[in-house]
Amino acid sequence: MVQTAESVKLDIDHIKEMATQIRRDVIRMIAGVGSGHPGGALGAAEIFALLYGGVLRVDPRKLKDPHRDRFVLSNGHICAAFYSALSLKGFLPREELNTFRRINSRLQGHPARVKLPDLVETSSGPLGQGFSVANGIALALKLDGSRGRVYSLVGDGEIQEGQVWEALMTAAQHRLGNLTLIVSYNGLQIDGEVRKIKNLMPLKAKFESFGWECVETDGHDVVALYQALTEPAGGNPMSTDKPRAILAHTVMGKGVPFMENKAVWHGTCPTPAQAEEALLAIGKAKGFEDYPALSNPDLSTRKGGKR
């Protein structure tokens, strides 16, 4: 079937522009504070734009809705893109992005549930942790008969963690058909190429042999990715008992030519000049604005979270 914007009923242009704005935000946030993880965040811009721009059934005015979808970021270091997407969809004030990684901020260097209890399902950072938590949420939703679906994002390097394989077995064993695991599959980790460090291939066959449905797609093609996120591989309804994995092929540093496919940009902050160059390369996002300077002093000193 030919995949077109019409066939997926999605405002493709809006998603693309949103991804561009996420990339701009990521560069500005990280360069602004002087530290962070740009590579994976840039690579996951379309994933976040699609999740918060059309896939997740979530509403900033109904944060307690028991039937809402849940998102669990397992590779917490790429949270700049996560915070950006939240701010673009009304879950966070845009200007709060200025506080990223700064003292008293709710926007910790790795997502912290205690700081944002309604938006961060679980704190993540040490890799391999969030996926198990996503399974637990999916189990609870099944027990409660919730219509909500759980989406979790992991990096491919993260899959080297043993706990991920435990979680893969758990999801299949407990028939978590309400779970979608997205792999940002960029082939790189801090020390270099995944296949040279601890090879994961053939990854799709591994997922399938563990009892998962698995599709591979281009993680930057918003139409293909939307299709993968919303329709099971065999065209079956979403009521299948099998958990579902999407291997989304992404490019670390996507959108910034000097960062693309370079492992060093996993966790390196661009210099001010490099940030300028990056923003030029990314370009402006139609229909979106860069986040403004901090005008609400409360945001820079707030303690955040309920407890």
Partner 1 sequence: MIFEKPAPIRDGFGNALLELGEKDPRVVVLTADLSEAIRVHWFAEKFPHRFFQMGIAESDMVGTAAGLAVAGKIPFVTTFAAFATSLANTPVRVSVAYNQANVKIATSHGGVCVGGDGATHQSIEDIALMRVLPGMTIVVPCDANEAYRATLAAAEYEGPLYLRLGRIATPILTKAHTPFKIGKAQVLAQGNDLAIIACGAMVGFALEAAQLLDKKGLRVRVINMHTVKPLDHSAVLKAAQECGALVTMEEHSIIGGLGSAVTELVAEKYPVPVERVGIRDVFGESGEPHEILEKYGLTTKDLVKACKRALKRKEPK
Residues in the site for partner 1, rule: CB under 8 A?
Answer: 70, 72, 112-114, 121-126, 129-141, 143-144, 162-163, 166-167, 169-170, 173-174, 307
Closer to partner 1 by Cβ: residue 56 or 251 = 56
135: Cβ–Cβ under 8 A, 6 or more apart, which residues?
Answer: 167, 170, 171, 174, 176, 179
CA 235, CA 200: separation in Å to the nearest integer? 27
Contact indicator for 29, 92 with CB cutoff of 8 Å: no
Closer to partner 1 by Cβ: residue 165 or 288 = 165
CB 68 to partner 1: min, Å: 11
- Residue 234, Cβ density class (10 Å: 0-12 exposed, 13-18 middle, ≥19 buried): exposed
Closer to partner 1 by Cβ: residue 144 or 289 = 144
CA atoms within 13 A of residue 203's CA, in its CB half-sphere: 26
Closer to partner 1 by Cβ: residue 138 or 153 = 138
Look up residue 209 and give its two tokens.
Answer: 């042999």
CB 140 to partner 1: min, Å: 3
Closer to partner 1 by Cβ: residue 16 or 68 = 68
Closer to partner 1 by Cβ: residue 138 or 245 = 138
CB 110 to partner 1: min, Å: 9
CB 70 to partner 1: min, Å: 8
CB 123 to partner 1: min, Å: 5
CB 167 to partner 1: min, Å: 5
Which helix (H) or strand (E) segment holds residue 143: the answer is helix 130-144
CB 213 to partner 1: min, Å: 20
Closer to partner 1 by Cβ: residue 173 or 199 = 173
DSSP codes, 3-57? --HHHHT--HHHHHHHHHHHHHHHHHHHHHHT---HHHHHHTHHHHHHIIIIIS-
CB contact burial 141-171 (16+ within 10 A = b; e otherwise): bbeeebebbbbbbbbbbbbbbeebeebbebb
Closer to partner 1 by Cβ: residue 33 or 168 = 168
CB 133 to partner 1: min, Å: 4
Q: First-to-last CA distance in the chain?
A: 50
264: Cβ–Cβ under 8 A, 6 or more apart, which residues?
Answer: none
* Overall residue count recorded for the chain in this entry: 307
Look at residue 180 and give its three-state secondary structure: strand
> Which amino acid is residue 144, in one-letter code?
D
